[in-house]
Homo-oligomer: A and B are copies of this chain.
Amino acid sequence: MSAISITSESTEMYLKSIAELEMLATPPVAISHLAQRLGVSSPSVLEMVKRLAAQNLVTHTPYKGVSLTDSGRRRAMAVLRRHRLWERFLVDTLQLPWESVHDYACQLEHATAPAVTDALAAFLDNPTTCPHGNPIPDAAGAVPPNRTIPLLELAVGQSARLENIIYEEAILLEYLARRGFLPGVQLTLEDIAPYQGPLMVRVSGFDHPAALGREIAARIFVVPTE
């Protein structure tokens, strides 16, 4: 059977998910967060985490959570690279809709031999970001330094440029795109309603500010501008 891949699909999904969750909050990553993200039960996560720990891909601190080792991080970055390259290809080359490509890429990323990854990157002229603005790790797994802050932490009245969206659910991406929230747009945080209320954000070229929930605003990353 075509067992070219040494790393199982599940292993790759666990490593990738830990890496993604580490971008949203400080490690170690909670078992229940991982379980939620992967759509499996906590005991399943725990068992897989123990297996990954035995392979020195993660370190598990009991009752605290799980974090990637260097080796695990390299693996995760390789998966993210493939994921985001495929997303680029699906949007730019195959013209599939922006908000729909995450799941397709999620399948393809585990089925891509190194030679295919390299050739795909070359064909795409080595893009640096996925369609959602997230950086594509280079072939060595390196990601450029992160100068962004979550929109949630932008000062009221401050302008910024939208860099990336770490949230790939199709319905949300479609919602955001319809209100102009796309990588590269200029926006201004006009107001934050009290009591953990929504943020009023004006996207340049739009007449009215959009209201964003805090959870979404925490996953939109911006670079402040003058």
Give A contacts to B, CB under 8 Å. 1-2, 4-5, 10, 13, 38-40, 90, 93-96, 100, 103-104, 106-108, 110-113, 115-116, 119-120, 122-123
Contacts and interface: CB of A to CB of B under 8 A. Distances in A.
Copies in the complex: 2
A113 B107 contact: yes
Contacts of A119: 90, 94-96
A90 B2 CA distance: 17
A38 B116 contact: no
B39 A103 contact: no
A40 B1 CA distance: 8
Nearest to A38: B1
Nearest to A5: B107
B107 A111 contact: yes
Contact of A2 (B1, B13, B94, B96): B13
Identify whether the interface residues of A are mostly helix, strand, loop, or mixed.
Answer: helix
A173 to B, nearest CB: 16
Contacts of A122: 94
B111 A96 contact: no
B111 A94 contact: no
A111 B113 contact: no
A103 B40 contact: no
A107 B115 CA distance: 13
Nearest to A93: B123
B123 A104 contact: no
Contact of A104 (B38, B107, B113): B113
A100 B112 contact: no
Contact of A123 (B13, B94, B112, B115): B94
Contact of A4 (B39, B103, B110): B103
Contacts of A111: 107-108, 110-111
Contacts of A115: 96, 100, 104
* Max chain B C-beta neighbours (<10 A), residue from A38, A40, A94, A122: A94
Given A104-B115, A108-B112, A10 B1 contact: yes
25 contacts: A1-B13, A1-B38, A1-B40, A2-B13, A2-B103, A2-B107, A4-B107, A5-B107, A90-B116, A90-B119, A93-B123, A94-B120, A94-B123, A95-B119, A96-B115, A96-B116, A96-B119, A103-B113, A104-B115, A104-B116, A107-B111, A107-B112, A108-B111, A108-B112, A111-B111
